[in-house]
Amino acid sequence: MPAEATPPTGDLPPEEFRKYARETVDWMADYLGGVGELPVLPNVAPGDVRRSLPEHPPEVGEPLDVVLADFRALIVPGITHWNHPAFFGYFSITGSGPGVLGEMLAATLNVNAMVWRSSPAATELEELTADWLRQLLGLPETFDGVINDTASSSTMYALAAAREVAYPDAHERGLFGQQPGRVYASDQTHSSIEKAVLTLGLGRDGYRPIPSDREFRMRPDALSAAIAQDRAAGLRPVAVVATLGTTSSSSMDPVAEIADIAREHGLWLHVDAAYGGPAAIVPELRSLLAGWERADSIVVNPHKWLFTPVDCSLLYCRRPEALTRAFSIVPAYLSAPDGSETRNLMDYGLSLGRRFRSLKLWFVLRYFGREGLIARLREHVAMAAWLGEQIDASPRWVRVAPTPLATVVFRYVDPELDGPAQDARNMAILHAVNSTGSAYVIHTVLSGRVALRASIGNLKTTMDHVADLWTLLEDAAADQAG
Amino acid sequence: MPAEATPPTGDLPPEEFRKYARETVDWMADYLGGVGELPVLPNVAPGDVRRSLPEHPPEVGEPLDVVLADFRALIVPGITHWNHPAFFGYFSITGSGPGVLGEMLAATLNVNAMVWRSSPAATELEELTADWLRQLLGLPETFDGVINDTASSSTMYALAAAREVAYPDAHERGLFGQQPGRVYASDQTHSSIEKAVLTLGLGRDGYRPIPSDREFRMRPDALSAAIAQDRAAGLRPVAVVATLGTTSSSSMDPVAEIADIAREHGLWLHVDAAYGGPAAIVPELRSLLAGWERADSIVVNPHKWLFTPVDCSLLYCRRPEALTRAFSIVPAYLSAPDGSETRNLMDYGLSLGRRFRSLKLWFVLRYFGREGLIARLREHVAMAAWLGEQIDASPRWVRVAPTPLATVVFRYVDPELDGPAQDARNMAILHAVNSTGSAYVIHTVLSGRVALRASIGNLKTTMDHVADLWTLLEDAAADQAG
């Protein structure tokens, strides 16, 4: 044990750390084992949690017993339990025990994988796990992967690379005086695409949503028409973003056709497969993503549907030199002292600080193995298919979008109600289901009308949970109708 | 215990998780207790770690015993130990036991604080800890804080807000056709400022470094002159970034004078206090930051010099409406189902995915309390002062910059050597010290010449470690001279 100053000016001594960390692990194991018994949504109003806590920071350090007790008594009751097996909101992401172990170790090592020598193992394990996942996804070796925090960052980096290619002299001169540019994505695409376009200085006008078809997939003919129209209007097409697994309906854009158009017009093709990407691990689902291997860049988030705690977003790029052109600036204090040429991951994005995120992904990929991942993803898809079948078989419910993956979008229909009343009825059903605390679903808007949405992605979710959700929905609908 | 499918398609069952997590905690406690005995830098060549690992992901899941054993045998020997008490590289950041407990819990809860209802406690604890830290820093209540991953992100967000203000119609039209803009920062500023300017579409020309004085502080007269010159040339000044604690020398820009100039010209003032900010907690150091309270935005990183595991970067902003104008896009699936108006932290930056980072910060602030933080920061400053005194008292060493905080920059001087030979000598000393494995210092370049740099920020660092470093430096210098 190294010499330590007396607390509170020193760190928790190692033996005290061991004691409190064991106590914490016991809570964690109990929580993960029992989360299904808790209400999914907390029973709190805005401000409740904050009001339960002191307004000012403590003058004197407090015992960790007290802090841990406050965590259990004041924080946990204000948590929305994403771990709950009946959490069907957003994309139902799930961590996993092995992933948590990886995060525990990463937090302890506390290294920064900005340059190779600031932590060689962190840089090389990131390269390795990115390549392992690439192999699992069936993407060609020409894709070079790095791990970012979120798809919002990965997509922004990809579009920054696209901007470098479309405006070779903007790197020096900026966008001032350049021909206005356009990025295309379907009208179903994630808000992160528009945020990236705004961030990069292209403005809202630089983002052109392309109409989608009745199954919420980008219409290639509309994309071609938009590009032609924009070119004629003196605009510069920069990139097209195809989405594999849109947020509202998990629709899969026809990426092969979009790739043809991107190639024809010399546009960067970015594929947002943050949610849908892991489906490529499953042999019978891989064809849903056919054509994505022709993209310039692809984002896949293991923290969504691959059992890795947030945050973990893979950005694969076939033109990494465009990425590093956008982001590589090496100051003296980060230059290699021996002038050696190692690959420094800070050069592939905005953030210099880079956590050791590959560790948790390595734990997850090793714990499950390819077969385990395939088996579990299949189960999620099967559970979603079952829910879809119940909806299809029920006279008062309709599925409003296909279910290619594990997210089901549906609506209660009462023929006596007009559109707005129908929307209100569905929102009432949503509130009734969610207020039971036994399940959590969210709403979205498709074709201008409210739809309900259940995303199945948690490791703890079983057929029983999905069957219970269906019962809750039916009961709520009957109550509202009665 | 909820119903579980059989592994590997299910998660680690809770009792197995408990077992492996306890084993992991034991390793963590042993590591934190014994890291001072390990070499600071690993003895690996580029590619060694990756070559020690399988090229392909496993087909079948592996036992966690094997994964944990591989972690210890193959990963740890490739780690640069930022936890080592004689790690003096970069900014010597340090986590802490309480911070690690917070990360363990955050990884387990695995919530996303994107909107209030996606985890009320995560949103409200973020608001609370941001405000606690604001109080500790002595900043006025008008500053609104959010937690981002890194200062690179925080600064980019701040400059995006500045761009909104400087170009009110660029939000719609982009920067095309706008008057070219300029962001000013000292020639000592962090590379993240230039990366942010590039990201935002202003180009390298949009970044104008301002000369610094002999103590590496931005020269206000040079800033004024640059602004006047740029205005005359038809450019639009957008923002000025003042740095409190530059990376090379920890110099503190004269932020009060810079604030006067920013106000005079209507420029957004962003203060990069990622490293230096925590000094404001210490009463006798607060005056070093005088004037920063007049900034429009400030970044302070608790993961640098405030004992919080990476990543945790506070962005304080007095004009949050400019931030949300830059980044708020609310799609249907994230809109509040009851139309309620809660504050959604996703609106203050690019990333939709937001980890529960406030939990570790809350643990750290409560464990140390104001007094504990002050005491420990004082110790770091005192140790740095001691090292500076040894250098000043030694005929062959010079301090090349003042030491306002806890980072010492110095150089070995042999009057018989010319500049390049002097540089080579200092690099040789650096290599000799680092190759002992007993300490890690880095080099930088100041006024065109190599300097060595020791940053003192680890919780485990004692005077003995600093004294040992001085002995290592003296011995290495004597060997090289002999």
pLDDT over 50 at A4, yes or no: no
Among A355, A379, A403, where does a domain finish? A355
The token pair at B270 is 């962003």
Which residue shows structure tokens 């009946």? A86
B411 phi and psi, to 5 degrees?
-155, 145
A345 with A437, same domain? no
A346 with A379, same domain? no
Closest by Cβ to A205, choosing from B79, B107, B173: B173
Q: Do A42 and B121 touch (CB under 8 A)?
A: yes
Closest by Cβ to B311, choosing from A24, A46, A353: A353
Whether residue A249 lies within 8 A of chain B, CB to CB, comes out as: no
Q: Do B61 and A85 touch (CB under 8 A)?
A: no
A351 with A374, same domain? no
B292 phi and psi, to 5 degrees?
-65, -20
CA A273, CA A279: separation in Å to the nearest integer?
A: 9
Q: Kindly report the CA angle at B334 between A208 and B107, in degrees rounded to 5?
A: 115
End-to-end CA distance of chain A: 69
Count contacts between A and B (CB, < 8 Å): 595
Other C-beta atoms closer than 10 Å to the C-beta of A426 total 23
Q: Do A199 and B82 touch (CB under 8 A)?
A: no
A383 with A346, same domain? no
Nearest to B463, CA basis, from B397, B387, B411, B365: B387
Q: What is the per-residue pLDDT for A343?
A: 84
In a domain, A98, yes or no: no
Question: Can you give the residue range of the structural domain that contains A258?
Answer: 112-355
Residues 286-315 of B with CB under 8 A from A: 303, 307, 309-311, 313
A345 with A440, same domain? no
Contacts of A300 (CB under 8 A, 6+ apart): A133, A137, A273, A274, A277, A278, A306, A313, A314, A316
The token pair at A224 is 């071609």
pLDDT over 70 at A3, yes or no: no
Other C-beta atoms closer than 10 Å to the C-beta of B294 total 17
In a domain, A458, yes or no: yes
- The domain that holds A162 is classified in CATH as 3.40.640.10
CA B310, CA B149: separation in Å to the nearest integer?
A: 8
In a domain, A97, yes or no: no
Q: What is the per-residue pLDDT for B339?
A: 64
Average pLDDT for runs of 10 along chain B of length 482: 49 95 98 96 95 97 97 98 96 95 98 92 97 98 96 97 96 96 96 96 97 97 98 98 96 98 98 98 98 98 97 96 87 68 86 94 98 96 98 96 97 94 97 97 95 97 97 96 80
pLDDT digits (tens, 9 = 90+) for A101-118: 999 999 999 999 988 999
pLDDT digits (tens, 9 = 90+) for A271-318: 999 999 999 999 999 999 999 999 999 999 999 999 999 999 999 999
Q: Length of chain B, please?
A: 482
Whether residue B118 lies within 8 A of chain A, CB to CB, comes out as: yes
In a domain, A19, yes or no: no
- The domain that holds A453 is classified in CATH as 3.90.1150.170
Whether residue B87 lies within 8 A of chain A, CB to CB, comes out as: no
Chain B residues whose beta carbon lies within 8 Å of the beta carbon of residue A12: 96-98, 367
In a domain, A28, yes or no: no
Q: What is the per-residue pLDDT for B184?
A: 98
In a domain, A186, yes or no: yes
In a domain, A37, yes or no: no
CA B134, CA B328: separation in Å to the nearest integer?
A: 24
Domain count, chain B: 1
pLDDT digits (tens, 9 = 90+) for A65-84: 999 999 999 999 999 999 99
Residues 165-224 of B with CB under 8 A from A: 170-181, 190-192, 194-196, 198-206
Q: What is the per-residue pLDDT for B182?
A: 98
In a domain, A279, yes or no: yes
pLDDT over 70 at A251, yes or no: yes
Share of chain A above pLDDT 70, in %: 96
Residues 406-465 of B with CB under 8 A from A: 427, 430-431, 442-445, 453, 459-460, 462, 464
A347 with A414, same domain? no
Q: What is the per-residue pLDDT for A5?
A: 41
A126 with A231, same domain? yes
A290 with A168, same domain? yes
Q: How many CA atoms lie within 13 A of A353 on its CB side?
A: 23
CA B190, CA B90: separation in Å to the nearest integer?
A: 12
Chain B residues whose beta carbon lies within 8 Å of the beta carbon of residue A196: 350
Q: Do A201 and B163 touch (CB under 8 A)?
A: yes
How close, in Å, is residue A424 to chain B by CA atoms? 11
Q: What is the per-residue pLDDT for B3?
A: 40
For residue A9, what pLDDT band results from cuts at 50, 70 and 90?
Answer: low
Chain A residues whose beta carbon lies within 8 Å of the beta carbon of residue B352: 150-152, 190-192
Q: Are A341 and A329 in contact (CB under 8 A)?
A: no
Nearest to A21, CA basis, from B400, B102, B292, B83: B102
Give Cα A63 distance to the centre of its chain.
36
The reply to whether omega before A331 is within 30° of 0 (cis) is no
* 3 state SS of A291: coil
Among A305, A321, A355, where does a domain finish? A355
Whether residue A72 lies within 8 A of chain B, CB to CB, comes out as: no
Across chain A, mean pLDDT equals: 95
CA A16, CA A28: separation in Å to the nearest integer?
A: 18
A326 with A414, same domain? no
Q: Which amino acid type is present at position A438?
A: S
pLDDT digits (tens, 9 = 90+) for B221-233: 999 999 999 999 9
Q: What is the per-residue pLDDT for A339?
A: 64
